[in-house]
Amino acid sequence: MKLFFFFYFFGFGVFAYFLVPQKSKAQSITNGSLIYNDFCYRCHGVNGVGRDNLIPPLKSSDYLLKNINLSIAGLKYGLKGEIIVNGKVYDGYMAYQGLDNEEIADVMNYILNQWGNNYEGFIDASQVENIPKSIFEK
Protein backbone atom coordinates (compact mmCIF):
# COMPACT_ATOMS: atom_id res chain seq x y z
CA MET A 1 0.00 0.00 0.00
CA LYS A 2 2.82 2.39 0.92
CA LEU A 3 4.38 1.72 -2.40
CA PHE A 4 1.11 2.49 -4.09
CA PHE A 5 0.98 5.93 -2.45
CA PHE A 6 4.58 6.55 -3.32
CA PHE A 7 3.96 5.94 -6.99
CA TYR A 8 0.65 7.69 -6.84
CA PHE A 9 2.16 10.94 -5.61
CA PHE A 10 5.33 10.56 -7.59
CA GLY A 11 3.24 10.09 -10.71
CA PHE A 12 1.19 13.12 -9.87
CA GLY A 13 4.33 15.20 -9.40
CA VAL A 14 5.65 14.17 -12.80
CA PHE A 15 2.29 14.90 -14.34
CA ALA A 16 2.09 18.34 -12.70
CA TYR A 17 5.59 19.13 -13.93
CA PHE A 18 4.54 18.56 -17.51
CA LEU A 19 1.26 20.35 -16.99
CA VAL A 20 3.13 23.53 -16.05
CA PRO A 21 5.89 23.62 -18.63
CA GLN A 22 8.63 26.22 -18.69
CA LYS A 23 7.76 29.13 -20.91
CA SER A 24 8.94 28.52 -24.44
CA LYS A 25 11.19 30.95 -26.28
CA ALA A 26 8.42 31.61 -28.79
CA GLN A 27 6.01 32.49 -26.00
CA SER A 28 8.58 34.77 -24.38
CA ILE A 29 9.16 36.58 -27.69
CA THR A 30 5.41 37.03 -28.16
CA ASN A 31 5.07 38.52 -24.67
CA GLY A 32 8.14 40.65 -25.35
CA SER A 33 6.61 42.13 -28.48
CA LEU A 34 3.69 43.47 -26.42
CA ILE A 35 6.09 44.96 -23.88
CA TYR A 36 8.15 46.51 -26.68
CA ASN A 37 5.10 48.21 -28.13
CA ASP A 38 4.06 49.51 -24.73
CA PHE A 39 7.40 50.64 -23.34
CA CYS A 40 10.18 50.85 -25.93
CA TYR A 41 8.60 51.67 -29.24
CA ARG A 42 8.06 55.36 -28.45
CA CYS A 43 11.81 55.86 -28.25
CA HIS A 44 13.52 53.07 -30.18
CA GLY A 45 10.96 53.15 -32.98
CA VAL A 46 8.89 50.72 -34.92
CA ASN A 47 11.82 48.89 -36.49
CA GLY A 48 14.24 49.36 -33.62
CA VAL A 49 16.22 51.91 -35.61
CA GLY A 50 16.40 54.56 -32.90
CA ARG A 51 16.27 58.27 -33.56
CA ASP A 52 18.92 60.72 -34.80
CA ASN A 53 21.75 61.20 -32.35
CA LEU A 54 19.47 60.81 -29.37
CA ILE A 55 18.24 57.22 -29.26
CA PRO A 56 20.52 54.36 -30.28
CA PRO A 57 19.24 51.59 -32.54
CA LEU A 58 18.46 48.07 -31.34
CA LYS A 59 18.37 46.60 -34.84
CA SER A 60 21.88 45.28 -35.59
CA SER A 61 23.19 47.07 -32.48
CA ASP A 62 26.66 45.78 -31.66
CA TYR A 63 26.23 47.10 -28.12
CA LEU A 64 23.13 44.98 -27.60
CA LEU A 65 24.33 41.85 -29.36
CA LYS A 66 27.82 41.83 -27.81
CA ASN A 67 26.89 43.00 -24.31
CA ILE A 68 23.77 41.09 -23.47
CA ASN A 69 24.23 41.26 -19.71
CA LEU A 70 25.03 44.98 -19.83
CA SER A 71 21.92 45.55 -21.92
CA ILE A 72 19.85 43.64 -19.37
CA ALA A 73 21.40 45.78 -16.62
CA GLY A 74 20.42 48.92 -18.55
CA LEU A 75 16.80 47.78 -18.44
CA LYS A 76 16.99 46.67 -14.83
CA TYR A 77 18.69 49.75 -13.38
CA GLY A 78 18.47 52.40 -16.10
CA LEU A 79 21.29 53.48 -18.39
CA LYS A 80 23.11 56.77 -18.30
CA GLY A 81 26.25 58.23 -19.82
CA GLU A 82 28.33 57.62 -22.87
CA ILE A 83 27.93 54.41 -24.84
CA ILE A 84 29.06 53.55 -28.36
CA VAL A 85 26.59 51.81 -30.65
CA ASN A 86 27.81 50.81 -34.11
CA GLY A 87 30.65 53.31 -33.89
CA LYS A 88 28.44 56.21 -32.93
CA VAL A 89 28.58 57.91 -29.53
CA TYR A 90 25.37 58.36 -27.54
CA ASP A 91 25.33 60.21 -24.29
CA GLY A 92 21.77 60.06 -23.15
CA TYR A 93 19.66 58.63 -20.42
CA MET A 94 17.23 55.74 -20.39
CA ALA A 95 15.21 55.52 -17.20
CA TYR A 96 14.30 52.24 -15.59
CA GLN A 97 11.02 51.35 -17.26
CA GLY A 98 9.44 49.66 -14.25
CA LEU A 99 9.59 46.15 -15.73
CA ASP A 100 10.03 43.09 -13.53
CA ASN A 101 12.67 40.43 -14.22
CA GLU A 102 10.33 38.26 -16.24
CA GLU A 103 9.25 41.19 -18.42
CA ILE A 104 12.85 42.24 -18.98
CA ALA A 105 13.70 38.68 -20.06
CA ASP A 106 10.74 38.65 -22.47
CA VAL A 107 11.55 42.01 -24.07
CA MET A 108 15.22 41.01 -24.37
CA ASN A 109 14.24 37.79 -26.14
CA TYR A 110 12.11 39.89 -28.44
CA ILE A 111 14.68 42.56 -29.38
CA LEU A 112 17.39 39.93 -29.77
CA ASN A 113 15.29 38.13 -32.36
CA GLN A 114 13.73 40.95 -34.35
CA TRP A 115 14.66 43.04 -37.37
CA GLY A 116 17.29 40.52 -38.43
CA ASN A 117 18.81 40.24 -34.95
CA ASN A 118 19.42 36.62 -34.07
CA TYR A 119 20.34 35.13 -30.71
CA GLU A 120 20.42 31.40 -30.17
CA GLY A 121 20.22 31.51 -26.40
CA PHE A 122 17.24 32.13 -24.21
CA ILE A 123 17.06 34.70 -21.43
CA ASP A 124 14.94 33.86 -18.40
CA ALA A 125 13.98 35.75 -15.26
CA SER A 126 16.71 34.13 -13.16
CA GLN A 127 19.44 35.39 -15.51
CA VAL A 128 18.02 38.91 -15.11
CA GLU A 129 17.77 38.40 -11.35
CA ASN A 130 21.46 37.51 -11.12
CA ILE A 131 22.87 40.61 -12.82
CA PRO A 132 24.18 43.07 -10.21
CA LYS A 133 24.37 46.81 -10.61
CA SER A 134 28.15 46.59 -10.21
CA ILE A 135 28.35 45.18 -13.75
CA PHE A 136 28.54 48.82 -14.95
CA GLU A 137 31.79 49.36 -13.05
CA LYS A 138 33.70 46.62 -14.82
Spatial neighbors of 9 by CB under 8 A, at least 6 apart, are none
Q: With binding defined as CB under 6 A, does residue 105 bind ligand HEC?
A: no
Torsion 99-100-104-106 (CA) sign: negative
Given 49, 85, 125, 135, the residue binding ligand HEC (CB under 6 A): 85
Given 13, 21, 81, 98, the residue binding ligand HEC (CB under 6 A): 81
The per-type count for the chain, helices as H runs and strands as E runs, is 7, 2
Contact residues toward ligand HEC (CB under 6 A) are 39-40, 42-44, 55-58, 61, 63-64, 71, 74-75, 79-81, 83, 85, 90-94, 97, 99, 107, 111
